[in-house]
Amino acid sequence: MTDEKDNPSGFKVVDRRSFTQEGAKRSEEAAGQRAPEPEASPSRPSRIIEPSEEPMEEEGSDFETLVSYLSTTAMFQLGLMAGPGGERIAPDMVNAQRTIDLLQVLQEKTSGNLTSQESRLLDNVLYELRMTFLELQKRQARKG
């Protein structure tokens, strides 16, 4: 590897693979070495999320999480949530409608298989998203 003075870009590459090119297992210390985190800048996030080698916990992969994920996606598409930098995102009504339709498909396909709490959650989320979608359509029709 080159020294930092030879590499003007400021990037340092650290090989964290568990095996060498020859296929031999690396020592725990050599495979686990971490590069120092670079300073944050406006164009680069201060923290990089690295994939975990541990399996995901079961608690984070349930029905409520799926409904939350899809409803949050629809809210972004409807322009109700700010972007990562706090900027306003323009509504994308076509994809918002698709996401709301996906939630409806989920409701239809899981009918009779949900707990009362899960069913209420899905009903409430769909109702709120549909009403918001209609309100935004009315606003756009008045402007256009």
Q: What is the pLDDT of residues 68-126, one digit of tens each?
A: 999 999 999 999 988 888 888 899 999 999 999 999 999 999 999 999 999 999 999 99
Nearest 5°: phi and psi at 25?
Answer: -70, 130
pLDDT at 19 over 90: no
- CB atoms closer than 10 angstroms to residue 51: 5
Give a yes or no: residue 86 inside a domain: yes
Instruction: Tell me the backbone φ, ψ of residue 115, rounded to 5 degrees.
Output: -70, 165
Is pTM beyond 0.85? Reply is no
Tell me the pLDDT tens digit for each residue of 38-71: 454 444 444 444 555 555 555 556 999 999 999 9
Q: Is residue 35 domain-resident?
A: no
Rounded CA separation 79/84 (Å): 13
33 occurs within a structural domain: no
Residue count (the chain): 144
Domain count, the chain: 1
Report yes or no on 69 lying in a domain: yes
Torsion, CA 55, CA 58, CA 59, CA 60, rounded to 10: 60
Identify the domain containing residue 62 by its residue range: 58-143
One-letter amino acid for residue 24 of the chain? A
What pLDDT score was predicted for residue 38? 47
